[in-house]
Amino acid sequence: MSETKVFLLPDLGEGLTEAELVNWLVAVGDEIRVDQPIAEVETAKSMVEVPSPYAGTVAELHGEPGQTLDVGKPLISVTPVGGSMAQQPAEVTAETYREEEKAGSGNVLIGYGTPGGTATVRRTRPRRTLSLVEPAETKTVETGTQPKLTTAADDLLLKRTRVPGKLGAVISPLVRRMAKEHGVDLGHVQGSGESGLIMRRDVEAAINAPAVEPGETPARPLVEPAETSTPNVDSRTGLGIVSRTPVRGVRKAVAANMSRSRSEIPEATAWVDVDATALVELRAELKKKDGHNTPGLLAFIARFVTAGLKKYPELNTRIVTAEDTSGGEQQEIVAFDGVNLGFAAQTDRGLMVPSVRNADKLSARELDAEIRRLTAVARDGKATPAELGSGTFTLNNYGVFGVDGSAAIINYPEVAILGVGRIIDRPWVVNGELAVRKVTELTLTFDHRVCDGGTAGGFLRYVAYAMENPGALLADL
């Protein structure tokens, strides 16, 4: 009899620990092949097609559309045809699955898939891998009081939160061992370190948290909400409830990111009105020559921003918490060799912030092309986690919504964001004479821990001067 294989929802990259099941692409009883897309899921970053590592007959679908699934939990069960797995070994591991994706058919997860070639995987030394197939073999761990059974699934929970190219969410062997010995599921522990790094104190807090015994009723709040006989009436306002929308996917990620930004960053805001007439006229002249190939105004402003960040690199940094030599913690300001310029893009799935990699090395024309490309893939839900989570500074053009100014919230963990308002005709004094000019407002919100007002003001005035004198600045860029 063929053994049914259970495929667990894999790590989708960038430390994401859950995904919403949008749509099944297969049904129970269907014959599927290796790398065939089996489901569409929506993460906090993008819409993703999940391919199957198994070939065979679909035995069970674990979840319904609209349900949120945790990474490492069963997604689909597949029964091999003829008692053996076509094109795949009997046991598929998390590590080999990722490796095979890099050299597979190209039918892969958005964000870390294959180019569709026929390259082979080269390994220089054996790797310790974890089975994605359940049930897993159990082993006994001595905790000092009584033996505790653990499984490979427990190990998967300890390892499943990771960020490609960075250290994992749990890097200390001591923290891993402590979590194992006390039965703490690290998949449900919120790390207090940089990028969600789980520290020893986080595991200790989880261990000391009061547990609810089986059959015990959780403590009731001191103040109970007022009861109402009509479930569709809000008890506080007395108004009818039209709808209830779960906060999930992109909106959930945005809410968590903005809340963390406001709670952790001591922000300050500075703004200045800018006479952008010369920039508008320069673009109009270029458009007469190049037509539709002329970069947009945002691309020119982006070029001035990257130049300004080279003069004021404090605004292109990040604050991290690291362990010092004595085992304690200290804050560090991390500077970067280059600028990944994020920009706000409104989509049907909410506000996205894709980033132009190495934007400081691009011309205004190249920036314009990349901004247009990233805007398109973000609106199509196909932006990769790397494209959505690698920014070092954000440019927010809220002027397209007819807004003059806004004290924007910093896109954590960055330390600054520059907003550009609409460009409108306003009275302006030029050489002692009143004139009608094209005026906009620049607003800079910055983390006061990385710099003082002098640095922020210097950067803001630099970008403003560049917009007022674009010809002189572009000649030197």
Catalytic residues: 448
Strand pairing category for 5-8 and 74-79: antiparallel
Contacts 24+ apart (CB under 8 A), 258-266: 258/409, 258/412, 260/412, 261/409, 261/410, 261/411, 261/412, 262/409, 264/412, 265/410, 265/412, 265/415, 265/447, 265/449, 266/447, 266/448, 266/449
**Residue 4 vs residues 54, 60, 69, 285: alpha-carbon distances, Å:** 10, 10, 21, 67
3-state secondary structure of 10: coil
The closest alpha carbon to 286, from 27, 84, 471, belongs to 471
Tokens (6 digits) for 29 = 């009883």
3-state secondary structure of 303: helix
* Whole-angstrom distance, CA of residue 366 vs CA of residue 394: 18
Per the DSSP assignment, residues forming a β-bridge with 271 are 443
Write the single-letter amino acid at 465. Y
Three-class secondary structure assignment of 112-124? CCCCCCCCCCCCC
Strand pairing category for 47-51 and 37-42: antiparallel
* Whole-angstrom distance, CA of residue 104 vs CA of residue 244: 42
Contact between 172 and 191 under an 8 Å Cβ cutoff? The reply is no
Contact between 193 and 199 under an 8 Å Cβ cutoff? The reply is yes
What's the longest Cα–Cα distance across the chain?
92
Torsion-angle region of 138 (φ positive above 0: left; ψ -120 to 50: alpha; else: beta): beta
3-state secondary structure of 23: strand
Backbone angles phi, psi at 387, to 5 degrees: -70, -25
3-state secondary structure of 77: strand
Tokens (6 digits) for 378 = 């973000």
Contact between 364 and 303 under an 8 Å Cβ cutoff? The reply is yes
**Residue 449 vs residues 168, 292, 319, 407: alpha-carbon distances, Å:** 26, 43, 9, 18
3-state secondary structure of 443: strand
